[in-house]
Amino acid sequence: MGPPYHRPASVRRPFSSATAALRRASPGRGRHGGEFLAELLDFEGAVQLAQALDAPPASHGEVASPEQAVARAQRRLAEAEREARLPLHDPHTGAPLVTAERIARVLARAGVPASRPRKAIEGAARELFGALEARTLQRIGSVRRVVAEIRRELGPAVAASGAQAARLEQIDAALTGATAAREGALVARAVSAVGDGFAADLERAVLALPKPCEELPVAVWAGEGGFVAEHVGRCESLAFAAFVHERARVDMLVGNTLGGRLG
């Protein structure tokens, strides 16, 4: 199968694939697409969407040919995909964000394993996961910005290809802008849910240690197959799912206007 960040995400439902484990932990009823869309629109976004749809499509001056625009988009999307697939490591040192040594150090400050108060373990978990959470959100924000920029560059070429394409491009741009804030918040909630799972697993692992415990099995926890590596993999899967989701929207726009695909 390979590392989690190399596993293919569903092209149609990338976030469903990336959050499957979280849904199993917190099962809930399925939702209709219209209900989900309503959650993505806040009041300001809804007003902006209505205003954008009430206006005629904007006119553009000289634009690149569809072939040129698509070729550039393909190159830039390939670069963005390479970034989205990278492991979530420290950007300065290239080292893993949650190492065995760091786990041992943080837990020692919390008094573990000599004492094992749940509040102290939870605080240690939040500290350990904090760097991973920040790096995950940074990666997701980066790939979303790049794909959004590529989408904006394609807009004039799409709009110039015909009246129907211009209207579709306008609707797509308006809907994307109106849902961006809430969509980002939902992604952040998914990353936070991984953090909750990490804290719960660390607590279970610590409380299950024998008494007395001379040495923490941090290498096992952080190594391949350990719960730490599992949660790092989930964050990497979410980062890649963000790219697949954003790219799929651009693919659909190009496929329904210029009659081609970016892949």
pLDDT in tens, 83-112: 999 999 998 899 999 999 999 999 999 999
Q: What is the mean pLDDT of the chain?
A: 85
Q: Which residue has the tokens 């694939």?
A: 17
Q: How many domains does the chain have?
A: 1
DSSP annotation of 68 = H
Q: Which amino acid is at 241?
A: A
- Asked if 85 and 6 touch (Cβ cutoff 8 Å), the reply is yes
Q: Residue 139 has which token pair?
A: 């990666």
Tens-digit pLDDT profile for residues 207-228: 999 988 888 999 999 999 999 9
d(CA 12, CA 48): 27
**pLDDT at residue 19 is higher than 80:** no
- Per-residue pLDDT for 1 more than 50? no
Position 22 in a domain: no
In a domain, 48, yes or no: yes
231 located within any domain: yes
**Nearest-angstrom CA–CA distance, 248 and 14:** 9
Q: Give the structural domain span for 69.
A: 35-257
pLDDT value for 239? 95
Q: Does the residue 1 lie in any domain?
A: no
Model confidence at 236, in pLDDT bands (50, 70, 90)? very high
- CA–CA separation, 119 vs 117, rounded Å? 6
Asked whether 182 and 42 are in contact (CB, 8 A), the reply is yes
Instruction: Tell me the average pLDDT across 28-54.
Output: 63
Q: Is residue 262 domain-resident?
A: no
| pLDDT in the model for residue 39 | 66
- The answer to whether residue 28 is domain-embedded is no
Model confidence, pTM: 0.82
Could you write out the DSSP letters of every residue in 195-228? HHHHHHHHHHHHHTS-SS-SS--HHHHHSTTSHH
**What average pLDDT score do residues 23-30 get?**
54
- Residue 211, in any domain of the structure: yes
Whole-angstrom Cα distance, residue 221 to residue 201? 10
